[in-house]
Amino acid sequence: MYLCTENSFHPYITNLMSRKLGPSFILLFFVILIAGCSKTVTEPNNGAPARGVLSGVILDGASGDPLPGATITSEGRTAITNSSGTFEIDSLLTGKDAITISKLGYDGITDTVIIITDHLTQYTGSIFPSSQGLIGSWEQVTSGTLENLSSACYATKTTIYACGFDGTLLRSSDAGQSWSLIPTPTQENLYCVHFSDANKGVIMGNNGAIYTTADAGKTWSASPDGNGYAFRNVSFVDALHGYAVGGVSSFSCAIVKTTDGGATWSDESSNLLAGPLYGVHFTSSTTGFVGTYDGYVFKTTDGGTTWNKVYASNAWVRSIFFTAPSLGTFVGTVGTIQHTNDGGLTWSEQGQIRNISLNSVAYSDFKHGLTAGESGSIYLTRDGGANWLDQTVTGLNLSLLGVALADSTHGVIVGENGTILKPIIK
């Protein structure tokens, strides 16, 4: 397009003036020149519709990070975001246009933009990971007992064990749909259960109760190494190496460890001066964390010989879970959810949880986690704890005491009065 400027006609005027032509002639020349310039500026575009360009960035709605590989479509034209989450689509008709944004594993959206002629329209949008095919809510199943159930674990993806008061042990072989009672040789209240496979497991509880089985509970062997301790939690790093914690009294802790799958245990309690312990998780045979009833978290890197305090608060530390040596979470009273991404050096609060006690936490991978507590409280995360979804069961006014999570679609929650919940998939 040609535009008239002062420099466009100044030489002609100078030339005319130098010829000393009359005023009428010069006036006529200006009329012709201006008319010519006006025609050039507004010349038609041969009937082609006006168009513009759409450019922007697409973000992961959960994390806020740029999202590569997202597809943006408008007027039949398509672009795919690059590694920086950016895209560009040209030659779009001006005016209000509809765009769709999609990616496998995400909930797609349709939005509108205003395209301006010969203009770069900027756009920023977000799409969220899809919740379809994931846990959407929970429902109660028949457990066959009214005893309080305190803990649960996955032996395989379909075989689950749950333990509880009065020596209660239950097993499900169909991913939590139905449960059967497994006889145990004790009437002590049980708080710890771990099975390394469908057959080999250990149960632990009050008054030093420790029993192991190698045949799915058909027979049991008692360990003499319980020392009368009240065990409250157990963590195994593999089939052989594990640590259990609890209390000796209201004022001192209990820590024992095994290197043979639970048949024998060594007493490590004297290495830590602390109150009763409830949370425990080891990321290796030497590195682990424990939490106390009075709000402390301790870390060891030498198998429990020495301990360092890494956190202090007023919240009762009820449960600890690490998905990697550097990534961990603990939960406790007053809705506490604390997270570390540097191996316990620093901790930060997660979630907007109401003021209730959270009793147990578990993860299946870096992203998918589950916690539960008082008054039927259930919270689920799909983004590593950045957001916690409230999945509390309405009308279930019981304390939920233990959770286990096998993957993004398989989980179990146990609690008071024989309560067992299984997930409902969207």
Q: 14's torsion region: left (phi>0), alpha (psi -120 to 50) or beta? A: alpha
User: Is 46 within the bounds of a domain?
Assistant: no
User: Is 66 within the bounds of a domain?
Assistant: yes
My answer on whether 325 and 380 are in the same domain is yes
Count of other CB atoms within 10 angstroms of residue 223: 18
My answer on whether 119 and 148 are in the same domain is no
Last residue within a domain, chosen from 106, 129, 152: 129
User: Is 412 within the bounds of a domain?
Assistant: yes
Stretch 80-96: mean pLDDT, rounded?
Answer: 94
Given a cut of 60, whether residue 203 has pLDDT beyond it is yes
My answer on whether 22 and 88 are in the same domain is no
pLDDT (tens digit, 9 = 90+) per residue, 15-66? 444 444 454 444 433 333 333 333 333 333 556 678 899 999 999 887 789 9
User: Is 67 within the bounds of a domain?
Assistant: yes
My answer on whether 364 and 264 are in the same domain is yes
Given a cut of 50, whether residue 198 has pLDDT beyond it is yes
CA dist., res. 290 & res. 233, Å (int): 10
My answer on whether 17 and 90 are in the same domain is no
Range of the domain at 358: 135-425
Number of compact structural domains in the chain: 3
23 Cα distance to chain centroid? 84
My answer on whether 241 and 328 are in the same domain is yes
pLDDT (tens digit, 9 = 90+) per residue, 350-373? 976 878 999 999 999 999 999 999
CATH number (domain holding residue 352)? 2.130.10.10
Given a cut of 90, whether residue 290 has pLDDT beyond it is yes
**Farthest CA pair distance, the chain:** 125
My answer on whether 65 and 124 are in the same domain is yes
User: Is 70 within the bounds of a domain?
Assistant: yes
CA dist., res. 28 & res. 21, Å (int): 11
CATH number (domain holding residue 93)? 2.60.40.1120
- Give me the residue label for tokens 């304390």: 399
CA dist., res. 52 & res. 75, Å (int): 12
Last residue within a domain, chosen from 129, 163, 189: 129
Q: What pLDDT does 7 receive?
A: 40
My answer on whether 274 and 208 are in the same domain is yes
My answer on whether 149 and 260 are in the same domain is yes
My answer on whether 357 and 388 are in the same domain is yes
Tokens of 122: 């900027």
Under 8 Å between Cβ of 221 and 212? yes
User: Is 1 within the bounds of a domain?
Assistant: no
User: Is 296 within the bounds of a domain?
Assistant: yes
My answer on whether 97 and 240 are in the same domain is no
Last residue within a domain, chosen from 129, 156, 191: 129
User: Is 207 within the bounds of a domain?
Assistant: yes
My answer on whether 261 and 213 are in the same domain is yes
